[in-house]
């Protein structure tokens, strides 16, 4: 299996994508990657790989493909006159079956606009959606969608998101009957804006053979472990996700600071260190990096723009897993 990687995208560009791809390859011996970008910059980062990753070099191919996209370009301008760059090259490789999946750290609007044009949509899906996992109190994550692709989603789009999210959870996590909830400002009937109420009525009337519709869920329920799929429009989902990431970072900082405030706190910190490390690791947003663009004809994964090598490696592994199970074409089957 070969993965196409936009090596110039994201805040760190090749400094994150090259070692991140190498870390992923070290754990997936059946996979190879093609890095698209400025070859001289990619060569520099390859030369900096540690000796422990030298064995993966033979599975990394480089293709000269231009730079990252100019900052501030709107999706409409991107489609009209964006320069040929690393993102476009990696998506074209995916379209031409030269790769099984694509990973990029570019901004959401750019990936969505170019992927819809260069890769195409599934015939049965009206709007694509971005989905990512968030940790919960149980051992099962909660998948939220949409996370930014559609800020103006209509009720029927929210229904499509429910079906796609449930299908993904069945395939990826093996949950036979995923619990699907509609994110809202309250759980009582009649609450929320009109499109949410209309989506609720539609979801109550569909065939529930493949998922359990549990109705409205509020924001605090996302982390309780009682919901497998939380459906919302892109603005609500993006705000909820970014808020949870910020909260996780704040908790980690407060805990680490708290165990350094005095002699007894430092002693307690040493005793609690194994539990604290495990707790911080579970909360670390890096572990959940890699958002899926559902509804496209092939697997496209967005890495967080601020992800460094470790986080980017998670996104690559996510792409490998989804491509291996042919997720895009099984979503609406």
- Spatial distance between the Cα atoms of 287 and 302, rounded to a whole number of angstroms: 14
Locate tokens 């899906």: which residue? 125
- Residue 286: is its pLDDT beyond 60? no
Which domain does 213 fall in, by range? 126-286
Instruction: Note whether 77 and 102 are same-domain residues.
Output: yes
Domains in the chain: how many in total?
2
C-beta of residue 197 within 8 angstroms of C-beta of residue 163: no
Which of 142, 125, 124 is CA-nearest to residue 133?
142
Tell whether 101 and 168 lie within a shared domain: no
Mean pLDDT (the chain) is: 85
Alpha carbon distances (Å) from 91 to 10, 108, 322:
16, 14, 16
CATH number at residue 199: 3.40.718.10
What tokens were used for 314? 């998670």
Crossing angle for the helix pair 155-173 and 194-205, nearest 10 degrees?
Answer: 50
* 241 & 330 share domain: no
pLDDT at 62: 95
Same domain for 279 and 132, yes or no, is yes
Domain identity same for 144 and 174:
yes
Specify which residues 286 forms β-bridges with.
Answer: none
pLDDT in tens, 56-82: 999 999 999 987 776 666 666 666 666
Is residue 52 located within the same domain as residue 86? yes
- Mean pLDDT over residues 176-191, rounded? 87
Do 112 and 160 fall into the same domain?
no
Residues 140 and 244 reside in one and the same domain: yes
Burial status of residue 261 (CB atoms within 10 A of its CB: 0-12, 13-18, 19 or more): exposed
The sign of the CA dihedral 236, 109, 302, 69 is negative
Judge if 276 and 204 occupy the same domain: yes
Q: Are residues 136 and 271 in the same domain?
A: yes
Write down the pTM of the prediction: 0.83
pLDDT band at 246 (very low <50, low <70, confident <90, very high): confident
- 141 and 192 share a domain? yes
Residue 81 and residue 138 share a domain: no
Q: What is the mean pLDDT of residues 277-306?
A: 77
Element (H, E) at 109: helix 108-118
Nearest to 86 by CA among 104, 108, 59, 101: 104
Task: Decide if pLDDT at 285 tops 60.
Answer: no
């Amino acid at each position: 299996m070969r993965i196409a990687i936009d090596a110039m995208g994201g805040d760190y560009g090749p400094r994150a994508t090259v070692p991140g791809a190498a870390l992923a390859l070290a754990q997936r011996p059946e996979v190879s990657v093609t890095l698209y970008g400025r070859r001289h910059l990619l060569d520099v980062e390859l030369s900096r790989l540690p000796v422990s990753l030298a064995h993966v070099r033979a599975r990394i191919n480089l293709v000269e493909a231009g730079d990252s996209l100019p900052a501030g370009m709107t999706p409409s301008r991107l489609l009209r006159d964006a320069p040929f760059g690393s993102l476009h090259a990696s998506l074209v490789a995916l379209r031409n079956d030269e790769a099984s999946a694509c990973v990029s750290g570019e901004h959401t609007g750019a990936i969505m606009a170019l992927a819809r044009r260069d890769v195409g949509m599934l015939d049965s899906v009206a709007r694509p959606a971005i989905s990512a996992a968030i940790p919960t109190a149980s051992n099962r994550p909660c998948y939220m969608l949409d996370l930014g692709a559609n800020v103006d989603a209509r009720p029927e789009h929210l229904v499509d998101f429910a079906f796609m999210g449930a299908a993904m959870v069945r395939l990826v996590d093996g949950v036979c009957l995923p619990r699907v909830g509609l994110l809202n400002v309250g759980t009582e009937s009649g609450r929320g804006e009109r499109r949410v109420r209309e989506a609720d009525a539609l979801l109550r009337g569909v065939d529930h053979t493949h998922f359990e519709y549990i109705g409205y869920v509020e924001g605090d329920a996302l982390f309780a472990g009682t919901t497998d799929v939380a459906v919302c429009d892109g603005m609500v989902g993006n705000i909820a996700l970014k808020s949870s990431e910020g909260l996780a970072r704040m908790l980690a900082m407060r805990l680490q600071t708290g165990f350094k405030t005095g002699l007894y706190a430092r002693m307690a910190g040493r005793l609690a260190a194994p539990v604290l490390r495990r707790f911080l690791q579970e909360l670390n947003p890096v572990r959940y990096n890699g958002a899926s663009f559902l509804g496209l004809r092939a697997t496209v994964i967005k890495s967080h723009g601020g992800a460094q090598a470790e986080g980017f490696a998670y996104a690559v592994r996510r792409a490998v897993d989804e491509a291996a199970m042919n997720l895009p074409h099984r979503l609406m089957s």
